[in-house]
Amino acid sequence: MSNAIHTLSPSTNKPIFTHPGTTASQARQLAQNAHHAFETYKHTPLSTRKAIITKALSLIDANKDTLSAELTAQMGRPIAYSEKEINTMRMRAEYLLSIADDSLAAIPGQPESGFRRFVKKEPVGVTFVSGAWNYPYLITINALVPALLAGNAVLLRPSPQTPLVGERLVEYFVQAGLPKDVLQVVHVGSLDVLDEVVRIPEIKMVSFTGSTKGGLRVREATAGRVVGVNLELGGNDSAYVRSDADVPYVAAQIVDGAVFNSGQSCCSIERVYVHADVHDRFVEEVQKELSTYKLGDPTDKSTTTGPVISAQAVKNISAHVADALAKGAIDATPANATFTTLPAEGNYIAPKLLTNVNHEMLTMREETFGPVIPVMKVASDEEAVKLMNDSDYGLTASVWTKDIAKGEELISKIEAGTVYINRCDYPSPDLAWIGWKNSGLGCTLGPQGFDAFYKLKSYHIKEQQA
């Protein structure tokens, strides 16, 4: 497998970035440089680190029009939404900045006469952060900001599909005053080279966001070392619409949760269970909502749904749809000209509404990562919860109901790291973002957002000799 980076725009399949790839030997040198930088940077006061990051965020904000256009070119999201990722990234970073002092403060021990006893939080060293392409700024900032605030040096591996994100972040953080080699880009296209990189001795912590398959490979590659690993992986997230739900409202929210970003989100809705009493009405409302969506050129501000990331993604999504139809699913997608007339170039695939689905179908068992809405009829709350838990994944799940007390009872039984009532597809910066089952290991965001990026050191100080 070549290590070179050849980024094609999903909307044109034309090249927009090339790089020979960072070799394992070059990565080792970068890691050594990072370690030397870390030895000084770890002594930088937290107030100085915060000031640098705040300035970097301002530089990013000042250039967000350019960054948004680059983001649309690299991963195909409609331009109308790309700037929102930049804005949300800043809000997440500001939250992390606001809790940094408390999160990194020493922990006092119990009082003991003649002693001072406490636990300090020390930076781990060189951190390797491997991001994903579907929300590259948001995903990267989840790890980058706490890593730098905690006093670590960072080797940043942007996704080969969004390599400019890594380049820009380094550019603006350096402009903001981050010392040389504290943050460096590592462009890796080969998984074999990635295996070698995460084994580099100077790297003391690995933060990886991507597929479950990729995360398991990272764990295997680091298994011979005592090194921290944080994994944010895939999902096959579920939603349950109870019989008392506000059906038009819920239909609009679920379509958005399933189709936004062309369904390319680890926490997008990929399975919908609907109580039999409202099933048919729900399907009708979903059809109405889907008819308002426009698939097309992502540079057009009226476009709601752009291409998926690659030609291979089109094949994978189409295979899931074909598998469902072959096993008895019904294509209930509304007739819509904007879905049937696809652009001649690019990786476009129309959103699909499937009914009469079951758990024998791939789209109900695996991560489709595309704009597909499979709807399954259920007879009761109990059946819905049982089916929602019948999955190897556990990132998010949602229940839609007017009976909040009943909704809380149901979500308490669901096996997922984040559960919602009357909401979906939304990571809150002040709550832990964590995957259960095959959806992850460790967490980002929330009060524990810094935990992976420091190690504990206990101090016992006898203040006077007997």
Helix, coil or strand: residue 54: helix
In a domain, 350, yes or no: yes
Q: Are 248 and 394 found together in one domain? A: yes
Q: Are 198 and 261 found together in one domain? A: no
Q: Are 41 and 187 found together in one domain? A: yes
- Alpha-carbon distance of 76 to 150, in angstroms, equals 34
Is there a contact between 131 and 158 (Cβ–Cβ < 8 Å)?
A: yes
CATH of residue 210's domain is 3.40.605.10
Residue type, 55: K
Phi/psi for 442 (5° steps) reads 80, -170
Structure tokens at 24: 């394992």
Asked if 39 is an active-site residue, the reply is no
Q: Which residue has the tokens 């089109």?
A: 314
Give residue 4's Cα distance to chain centre: 24
In a domain, 99, yes or no: yes
In a domain, 434, yes or no: no
Q: Are 199 and 267 found together in one domain? A: no
- Alpha-carbon distance of 206 to 154, in angstroms, equals 10
Which residues have CB under 8 Å from 422's CB, separation 6+?
250, 253, 398, 399, 400, 401, 407
Burial class (CB within 10 angstroms; exposed 0-12, middle 13-18, buried 19+) of 309:
buried
- Alpha-carbon distance of 12 to 343, in angstroms, equals 9
Q: Are 117 and 221 found together in one domain? A: yes
Q: Are 213 and 280 found together in one domain? A: no
CATH of residue 418's domain is 3.40.309.10
- Alpha-carbon distance of 411 to 210, in angstroms, equals 26
In a domain, 201, yes or no: yes
Give me the catalytic one of 232, 270, 285, 289. 232
- How many domains are contained in the chain? 2
Q: Of the candidates 62, 128, 141, which has an alpha carbon nearest to the alpha carbon of residue 94?
A: 141
In a domain, 285, yes or no: yes
Q: Of the candidates 176, 119, 185, 191, which has an alpha carbon nearest to the alpha carbon of residue 155?
A: 185
Helix, coil or strand: residue 15: strand
Q: Are 150 and 258 found together in one domain? A: no
Q: Which domain holds residue 275?
A: 237-428
pTM of whole model > 0.85?
A: yes
Q: Are 220 and 120 found together in one domain? A: yes
Is there a contact between 441 and 435 (Cβ–Cβ < 8 Å)?
A: yes
Q: Are 148 and 11 found together in one domain? A: yes
The pLDDT score that the predictor gives to residue 273 is 99
Q: What is the DSSP code string of 380-400? A: SHHHHHHHHHSSSEESEEEEE
- Alpha-carbon distance of 51 to 83, in angstroms, equals 24
Sign, CA dihedral 444-446-448-453, equals: positive
Q: What is the pLDDT along the chain (466 residues), one digit of tens a residue?
A: 789 999 999 999 999 999 999 999 999 999 999 999 999 999 999 999 999 999 999 999 999 999 999 999 999 999 999 999 999 999 999 999 999 999 999 999 999 999 999 999 999 999 999 999 999 999 999 999 999 999 999 999 999 999 999 999 999 999 999 999 999 999 999 999 999 999 999 999 999 999 999 999 999 999 999 999 999 999 999 999 999 999 999 999 999 999 999 999 999 999 999 999 999 999 999 999 999 999 999 999 999 999 999 999 999 999 999 999 999 999 999 987 667 777 889 999 999 999 999 999 999 999 999 999 999 999 999 999 999 999 999 999 999 999 999 999 999 999 999 999 999 999 999 999 999 999 999 999 999 999 999 999 999 999 877 5
In a domain, 87, yes or no: yes
Q: Are 245 and 300 found together in one domain? A: yes
Q: Are 416 and 316 found together in one domain? A: yes
In a domain, 288, yes or no: yes
Give me the catalytic one of 70, 202, 266, 270. 266
Helix axes 163-175, 136-149, angle to 10 degrees: 40
Phi/psi for 146 (5° steps) reads -65, -35
Phi/psi for 453 (5° steps) reads -110, 10
> Residue 421 belongs to what H/E stretch?
strand 418-421
Phi/psi for 172 (5° steps) reads -75, -35
Q: Are 385 and 403 found together in one domain? A: yes
- Alpha-carbon distance of 347 to 342, in angstroms, equals 10
In a domain, 466, yes or no: no
Asked if 270 is an active-site residue, the reply is no
